[in-house]
């Protein structure tokens, strides 16, 4: 057998051993990390935000949305934030600085801390309580009752009362048939809002 023929199996063995090593070294692509809050997130009193203006470090701030729903910015003063999305506030601030103080400013606003959001679930449930939920997550009335331990044996599931305070201060009361929601008869899942009150009455025996 020639020297080349003797070296061939060794070469092939080395190649086969190297292949798994090469594949093992390849790292799977990382899933893109999600931002702390989408730009369409609507600000609420108590939220804490960070404001950064490119190449203007003196104007960078960490601010809390006041109970009146305002943010106070250097130079431009108060800006109404409550009920506005992050992108809307960014655009307003950008325009205000561009109009009087800076040339084409690049403004970025992110949420550092969310105001705690709760709904109250009371009455004939196993664990009446204030149910907290993250702002980026929808909370339906069925989910809220489930987190409060579910209905107890005396609950009237067909006459659950939802009390909601509207933006203009008016109080709205609705009677909800939870059986219809759970069976799919009612198509609207009924997403709750912060500070809603859900009361489950007892059945009339």
Whether 57 maps to a domain, the answer reads yes
CATH number of the domain within which 61 lies: 3.30.1950.10
At 47, phi and psi to the nearest 5?
-65, 140
Is a pLDDT exceeding 90 seen at residue 78?
Answer: yes
Higher pLDDT, 178 or 205: 178
Do 76 and 122 belong to one domain? no
Is a pLDDT exceeding 80 seen at residue 196?
Answer: yes
The tally of domains found in the chain comes to: 2
> How far apart (Å, rounded) are the C-alpha atoms in residues 125 and 199?
9
pLDDT, residue 28, reads 35
pLDDT, residue 27, reads 36
Whether 6 maps to a domain, the answer reads no
**Domain housing 54:** 48-113
Whether 43 maps to a domain, the answer reads no
Task: Provide the 3-class DSSP secondary structure of residue 177.
Answer: coil
| Percentage, residues of the chain above pLDDT 70 | 81
Of 83, 104, 86, the C-alpha closest to 95 is 104
CATH number of the domain within which 180 lies: 3.10.560.10
- In this structure, the number of other CB atoms found within 10 A of the CB of residue 22 comes to 8
Segment 68-75 shows an average pLDDT of 94
From 74, 96, 113, give the residue that closes a domain. Answer: 113
Is a pLDDT exceeding 70 seen at residue 147?
Answer: yes
Segment 149-154 shows an average pLDDT of 95
Interval 82-141: pLDDT, tens = 889 999 999 999 999 999 899 999 999 999 988 888 999 999 999 999 999 887 778 999
pLDDT, residue 185, reads 81
b/e per residue, 59-68, with b = 16+ CB within 10 A? beeebebeee
Segment 142-159 shows an average pLDDT of 95
Whether 3 maps to a domain, the answer reads no
């Amino acid at each position: 057998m020639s020297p080349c023929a003797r070296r061939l199996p060794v070469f092939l063995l080395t190649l086969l051993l190297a292949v798994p090593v090469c594949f093992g070294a390849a790292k799977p692509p990382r899933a893109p990390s999600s931002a702390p809050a989408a730009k369409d997130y609507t600000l609420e009193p108590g939220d804490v935000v960070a404001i950064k203006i490119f190449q203007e470090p003196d104007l960078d701030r960490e601010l809390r949305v006041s109970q009146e729903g305002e943010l106070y910015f250097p130079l431009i003063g108060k800006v109404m934030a409550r009920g506005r999305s992050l992108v809307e506030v960014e655009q307003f601030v950008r325009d205000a600085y561009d109009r009087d103080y800076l040339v084409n400013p690049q403004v970025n606003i992110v949420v550092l801390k969310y105001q705690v959001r709760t709904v109250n679930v009371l009455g004939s449930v196993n664990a009446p309580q204030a149910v907290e939920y993250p702002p980026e997550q929808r909370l339906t009335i069925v989910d809220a009752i489930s987190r409060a331990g579910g209905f107890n044996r005396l609950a009237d599931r067909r006459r659950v009362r939802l009390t909601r305070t509207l933006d203009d201060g008016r109080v709205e009361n609705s009677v909800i048939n939870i059986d219809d929601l759970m069976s799919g008869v009612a198509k609207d899942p009924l997403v709750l809002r912060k500070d809603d009150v859900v009361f489950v009455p007892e059945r009339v025996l």
